[in-house]
């Protein structure tokens, strides 16, 4: 067995062990707090029904209520920001949900209805372990990672960090945001992760191919606004190289081959303006200006993910359209919540973009013997009405595997403060570790190296 195979085995072993330990502790707590959970048939019409359970896809309880009325979370910190928490009432246990799914599904849960989610507890644990490690090493304020099943839109993991204990005394929520489901609740600029989608629009409309070349100096000026590139590159780039070198100048110049109305139309078809992409829970509202207010600067900025805000969930679902051969499938969090897909790009367009992202993927996103690819992004954050020189969001969006994707993975690290702040250097390794764990979990053997 190669060292890479050993590393992948360790990743999935640690993730499975973490899940097993969390489950074991939860079962111990359940057995200590209550010999049994009250079955639904035990309630009479005059009695208040026990609050419904939240279950993972395999039936593992994520939130349950003991006969004494105490709300327990068997997996502890795992998926805790997604599940949420409720009001602690000594007389009645959990009286009502205050945050997360405990709040958003209050009507069903309070009536005794149990709800099964799409979350795979092993995938959730793999994503969390990789994310928490990335947050610590980059000294980020917080982070999130989503794993979305390509063909169904099922969210297999919604990881957030730092870790949060839903039963611990809560701190000041304005200072300690570890309770927050950042994946759904925070709208942010997606940065260069948008460039592959802009490129797909160009291919879809026949305005360019991956070999179309453009003059791309290290900066360009539009009105009084200067657009800069970060990575040194040749003066003339193909669209394929624009993606590889992440050229803001190159993508903004090539995108002038389509109208701003066309770009906005595709942003809309990718649901960037959708205020409710999930039926089961609340999501922060995107902030995308109406196209009528787009001038030359706004149009250029939009091509590389600047000047508008979307949540990590919106980004994951949009990027998944490239994974799903051009079909947009709405994200799903509860079992049975299927929805119709929408064709956004032709299959050959989506496959061409995936191939370009595989060929141009940064080394920190690769696992030897496997086909992986995606796009990094580093977005400046607006502080006090101006783009900050110190506060950034580091992102990576990719596919596993990238030739015939089974899942789409998005990683976001907010305000890294270590020596490295770029998505290619700190978010891509988190994606790589999640990918390695998934490939081991699925039992996918490496391909022979030529």
The domains of the chain, with CATH numbers, are 3-119 (3.90.1310.10), 122-442 (3.40.710.10)
35-50: pLDDT as tens digits: 333 343 333 334 567 8
Instruction: Report the alpha-carbon distance of residue 16 to residue 8 in Å, rounded.
Output: 12
pLDDT one digit per residue (tens) for the chain, 450 residues: 454 554 555 555 555 555 555 555 454 444 444 433 334 333 333 456 789 999 999 999 999 998 888 899 999 999 999 999 988 665 555 678 999 999 999 999 999 999 999 999 999 999 999 999 999 999 999 999 999 999 999 999 999 999 999 988 888 877 899 999 999 999 999 999 999 999 999 999 999 999 999 999 999 999 989 999 999 999 999 999 999 999 999 999 999 999 999 999 999 999 999 998 998 899 999 999 999 999 999 999 999 999 999 999 999 999 999 999 999 999 999 988 777 899 999 999 999 999 999 999 999 999 999 999 999 999 999 998 899 999 999 999 999 999 999 999 999 999 999 789 999 999 999 999 999 999 999 999 998 654
Q: Which residues contact 46 (CB under 8 A, 6 or more apart)?
A: none
Q: Length of the chain, please?
A: 450
Closest CA to 119 of 162, 148, 99: 148
pLDDT of residue 279: 83
Instruction: Report the alpha-carbon distance of residue 340 to residue 153 in Å, rounded.
Output: 11
257-273: pLDDT as tens digits: 999 999 999 999 999 99
Instruction: Report the alpha-carbon distance of residue 433 to residue 416 in Å, rounded.
Output: 19
Residue 218 CA to its chain's centroid (Å): 30
Predicted TM-score of the model (pTM): 0.89
Contact 286, 119 (CB under 8 A): no
Strands (E), 308-444: 327-328, 342-343, 373-383, 386-400, 407-414
What burial class does residue 111 get, using C-beta atoms within 10 Å of its C-beta: 0-12 exposed, 13-18 middle, 19+ buried? Answer: exposed
In the block, residue with structure tokens 């764990």:
437
């Amino acid at each position: 067995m190669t060292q890479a195979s050993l590393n992948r085995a360790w990743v999935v072993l640690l993730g499975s062990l973490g899940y097993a330990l969390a489950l074991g502790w939860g079962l111990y707590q359940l057995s200590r707090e209550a010999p049994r959970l009250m079955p639904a048939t035990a309630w009479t019409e005059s009695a208040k029904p026990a609050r419904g359970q939240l279950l993972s896809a395999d039936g593992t309880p994520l939130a349950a209520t003991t006969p004494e009325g105490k709300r327990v979370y068997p997996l502890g910190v795992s998926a805790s920001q997604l599940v949420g928490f409720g009001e602690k009432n000594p007389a009645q246990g959990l009286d009502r949900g205050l945050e997360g799914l405990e709040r958003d599904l209050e009507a069903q849960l309070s009536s005794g209805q149990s709800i099964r989610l799409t979350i795979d507890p092993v995938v959730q644990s793999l994503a969390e372990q990789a994310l928490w490690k990335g947050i610590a090493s980059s000294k980020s304020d917080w982070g999130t990672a989503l794993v979305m099943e390509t063909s169904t839109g099922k969210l297999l993991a919604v990881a957030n960090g730092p870790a949060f204990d839903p039963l611990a005394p809560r701190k000041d929520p304005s200072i300690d945001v570890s309770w927050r489901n950042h994946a759904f609740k925070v709208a942010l600029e997606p940065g260069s992760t948008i460039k592959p989608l802009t490129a797909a629009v160009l291919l879809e409309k026949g305005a360019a191919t991956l070999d179309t070349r453009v003059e791309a100096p290290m900066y360009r000026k539009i009105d009084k606004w200067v657009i800069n590139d970060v990575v040194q590159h040749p003066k003339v780039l193909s669209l394929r190289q624009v993606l590889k070198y992440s050229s803001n100048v190159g993508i903004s110049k090539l995108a002038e081959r389509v109208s701003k109305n066309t770009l906005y139309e595709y942003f809309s078809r990718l649901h960037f303006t959708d205020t409710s992409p999930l039926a089961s829970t609340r999501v922060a509202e995107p902030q995308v200006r109406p196209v009528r207010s787009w001038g030359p600067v706004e149009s250029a900025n939009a091509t590389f993910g600047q000047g508008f805000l979307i949540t990590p969930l919106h980004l994951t679902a949009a990027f998944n359209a490239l994974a799903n051969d051009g079909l947009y499938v709405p994200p799903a969090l509860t079992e049975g919540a299927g929805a119709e897909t929408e064709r956004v790009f032709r299959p050959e367009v989506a496959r061409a973009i995936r191939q370009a992202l595989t060929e141009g993927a940064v080394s920190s996103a690769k696992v030897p013997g496997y086909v992986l690819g995606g796009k990094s992004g580093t977005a400046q954050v607006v502080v006090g009405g101006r783009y900050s020189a110190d506060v950034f969001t580091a992102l990576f969006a990719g596919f596993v595997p990238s030739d015939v994707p089974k899942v789409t993975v998005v990683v976001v690290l907010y305000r890294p403060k270590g020596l490295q702040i770029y998505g290619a250097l700190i978010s891509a390794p988190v994606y790589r570790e999640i990918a390695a764990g998934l490939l081991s979990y699925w039992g996918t053997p490496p391909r022979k190296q030529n």
